[in-house]
């Protein structure tokens, strides 16, 4: 069974649709897991939620989801993120707000613990280094950990270190050593690669694959300008930073 793992969609429906199309191009995707930050920053929060609901995606809560739902305040957000968060809340139905509010902050799925930030700080902690991966493994009984939040796509294997995908992605075997996987951000990559990022978890092959796909960045940027979202958030999509 192939499971699509997405994170940090950030209301970017162009990027999310490109990911769905790419992931399903050769083989069907049976399940969708989302590691949070469905909304915030981008122009199409409702469309992204509806696309996930349509596929019966299972999601955890990110800090932007929690902020839009009013569970946390905007004090820890920078000016542009807070601006976008207030705009996003106005675009959502009450059902959508309730859905975001009810999302769990942690979930166990097969060998994986799913958490937006890290087991130490589910909403806010940034997991980026090998040392932080070791700390994550120490805090969970699950063998492997799926995280988002940093908008950097990478894998960490116990005993080996942090691995970054090459031009054709990265394939990681499951069950050899403990893993931390970040599928990267669908809607606002920050690892200098503007393509939408995602992962496929194949439990028959016992592999996790990290992928990238181009999407119509300018269409998202036009939609953001049309609704008056901050220019700084629009321009960063071109560089993936």
Contact positions vs Zn ion (CB under 5 A) = 8, 37
23-147-121 Cα angle (round to 5): 160
Selection from 199, 204, 208 nearest residue 143 by Cα = 208
DSSP one-letter string for 86-146 = HHHHHHS-HHHHHHHHH--SEEEETTEEEESS-SS-TTT----SHHHHHHHHHT-SSSEEE
The CA-CA-CA angle for residues 52, 58, 60, to 5°, reads 105
* Nearer Cβ to Zn ion (67/155): 67
| Smallest distance, Zn ion to C-beta of residue 10, A | 6
Cβ 161 to Zn ion, closest distance in Å?
A: 24
CB of 5 to Zn ion, least distance (A): 15
Residue nearest Zn ion (C-beta atom): 37
Minimum CB distance to Zn ion smaller for 57 or for 134: 57
Considering beta carbons, is residue 178 or 220 the nearer one to Zn ion?
Answer: 220
Closer residue to Zn ion (CB): 37 or 191:
37
Q: Are 154 and 145 in contact (CB under 8 A)?
A: no
Q: How far is the CB of 7 from Zn ion (least distance, A)?
A: 7
């Amino acid at each position: 069974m192939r499971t699509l793992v997405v994170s940090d969609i950030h209301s970017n429906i162009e990027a999310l649709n490109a990911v769905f199309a790419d992931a399903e191009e050769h083989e069907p995707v049976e399940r969708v897991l989302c590691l949070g930050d469905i909304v915030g920053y981008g122009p199409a929060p409702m469309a992204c939620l509806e696309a996930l609901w349509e596929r019966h995606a299972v999601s955890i809560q990110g800090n932007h989801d929690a902020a839009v739902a009013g569970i946390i305040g905007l004090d820890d957000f920078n000016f542009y993120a807070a601006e976008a968060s207030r705009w996003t809340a106005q675009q959502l139905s009450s059902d959508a707000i309730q859905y975001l509010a009810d999302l769990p902050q942690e979930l166990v799925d097969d060998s994986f613990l799913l958490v937006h930030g890290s087991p130490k700080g589910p909403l806010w902690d940034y997991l980026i280094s090998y040392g932080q991966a070791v700390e994550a493994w120490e805090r969970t009984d699950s063998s492997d950990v799926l995280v988002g939040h940093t908008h950097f796509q990478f894998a960490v294997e116990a005993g080996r270190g942090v691995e970054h995908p090459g031009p054709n992605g990265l394939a990681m075997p499951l069950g050899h050593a403990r893993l931390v996987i970040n599928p990267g951000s669908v809607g606002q990559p920050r690892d200098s690669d503007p393509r939408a990022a995602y992962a496929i978890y194949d439990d028959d092959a016992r592999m996790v694959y990290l992928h990238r796909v181009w999407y119509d960045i300018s269409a998202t940027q036009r939609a953001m300008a049309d609704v008056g979202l901050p220019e700084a958030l629009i321009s960063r999509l071109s560089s993936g930073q």
